[in-house]
């Protein structure tokens, strides 16, 4: 079975349209490193200056941190606005098990108490292990269990989805 992945530019346009009509002007957008930040940057540029943007790295909040340790380089989280009582759109590239989102919400609440947290995902591949669902989604895709959907960014800034084999030590989203 060959899985055909959708065009990222079309998915981004769809996300922009969904979000634009459903957020307040002072909503904060927070991208999860790495791919979620790339998507959040594009959403932020399209939604305008009233929407503030931040980034979050959930490395220390993963539920498998004690077993796995740090994977790759940790980037500093940067939320340059007050999250208290503010609507937040948490942005991830590929939603899978829901564990990355759980970790991101744990870290987000260390910054304060948002008024509402909504989730935007470029791709939802199903397979949830936690009761987490996106309010905004670019596309739902069916992918074999032995494959991972990955977002890459070229030097030019263009984004592309690809499939790669799953390895046992790969972090699950």
Task: Look at residue 126 in the predicted model and tell me its pLDDT.
Answer: 93
For residue 170, name the pLDDT band (cuts at 50, 70, 90).
very low
Q: Where are the domains of the chain?
A: 8-65+75-165
Task: Look at residue 66 in the predicted model and tell me its pLDDT.
Answer: 46
Tokens standing for 72? Answer: 């790759």
Share of the chain above pLDDT 90, in %: 76
18-40 pLDDT, tens digit per residue, is: 999 899 989 999 999 989 999 99
Q: Check pLDDT > 70 for residue 63.
A: no
Task: Look at residue 38 in the predicted model and tell me its pLDDT.
Answer: 97
Q: What is the pTM of this model?
A: 0.89
Cβ atoms of 3 and 143 closer than 8 Å: yes
The correct CATH number of 8-65+75-165 out of 3.90.1150.10, 3.30.300.20, 3.40.1160.10, 3.40.50.2020 is 3.40.50.2020
Share of the chain above pLDDT 70, in %: 88
Tokens standing for 82? Answer: 């007050």
Q: Is 112 left (phi over 0), alpha (psi -120 to 50) or beta?
A: left
96-111 pLDDT, tens digit per residue, is: 999 999 999 999 999 9
């Amino acid at each position: 079975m060959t899985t055909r992945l959708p065009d990222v530019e079309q998915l981004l346009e769809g996300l922009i349209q969904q979000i634009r009509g459903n957020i307040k002007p002072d909503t904060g957008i927070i991208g999860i490193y790495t791919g979620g930040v790339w998507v959040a940057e594009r959403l932020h540029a399209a939604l305008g200056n009233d929407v503030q943007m931040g980034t979050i790295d959930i490395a220390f909040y993963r539920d498998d941190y004690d077993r796995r340790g740090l994977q790759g380089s940790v980037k500093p989280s940067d939320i340059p606005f007050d999250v208290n009582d503010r609507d937040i759109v948490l942005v991830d590239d590929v939603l899978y098990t829901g564990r990355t989102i759980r970790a991101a919400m744990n870290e987000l609440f260390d910054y304060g108490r948002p008024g509402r947290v909504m989730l935007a995902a470029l791709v939802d591949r199903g397979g949830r292990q936690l009761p987490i669902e996106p309010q905004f989604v670019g596309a739902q895709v069916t992918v074999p269990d032995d494959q991972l959907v990955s977002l890459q960014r070229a030097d030019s800034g263009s984004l592309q989805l690809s499939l790669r084999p799953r390895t046992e030590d790969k972090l699950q989203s």
